[in-house]
Amino acid sequence: MLENNMPAAPTLRLNNVALAVADLEAMIHWYRTALGLQVEQRGHFDPVDADFAMLTGNGFRLELVSRAGGEHRPADRSAPPQHLHVLGWKAIVLETDDLAATTVALKAQGVDIVWSEQALTPTLASTMIRDPEGNLVNIFGKLA
């Protein structure tokens, strides 16, 4: 429990979102091809013996991390809305100015579509996709 009389953490900002993946090369290729991300940096984290790739998009960074060997335990991949019954981070959520065009482009690439231009509110819709390892990516846009 946080103490009310303790000072808040200094001003923070998001650096990146990290995603552990089994096949780093395949996932780099998918995120570059499907979402247009660019590789900013690649390297190795010695303390955890893991390779990484930092990908950049329009105003965000996604870090893909992979550790060779060992047992990879997949995350729960329940379909929405059941995915909300398992606690933890659910999806990378992006935004586009043209959801319809983005959805058409994703379909043309054969991306795994969970739902397409689903109305969420009277003014907001989303297209939800899965990457090759089953991670959800939800793309928001204005309802057409």
Question: What CATH number is attached to the domain comprising 47?
Answer: 3.10.180.10
What local confidence, expressed as pLDDT, does residue 83 receive?
Answer: 87
Q: Are 107 and 53 in a shared domain?
A: no
Average pLDDT over residues 99-125: 96
* Residue 3 belongs to a domain: no
- What whole-number distance in Å separates Cα of residue 112 and Cα of residue 29? 15
Closest CA to 24 of 51, 2, 43, 1: 51
Q: Are 55 and 89 in a shared domain?
A: no
Closest CA to 28 of 67, 55, 68: 55
Q: What share of the chain is helix, strand, coil (3-state, %, to 5)?
A: 20, 35, 45
The pLDDT tens digits of the residues spanning 33-68 come to 999 999 999 999 999 999 999 999 999 999 999 998
The pLDDT tens digits of the residues spanning 76-87 come to 888 888 988 888
61, 50, 83, 15: CA torsion to nearest 10? -20
Looking at the chain, list the stretches that DSSP marks H as alpha helix, in order from N- to C-terminal side.
24-35, 99-108
Asked if pLDDT for residue 7 goes beyond 80, the answer is no
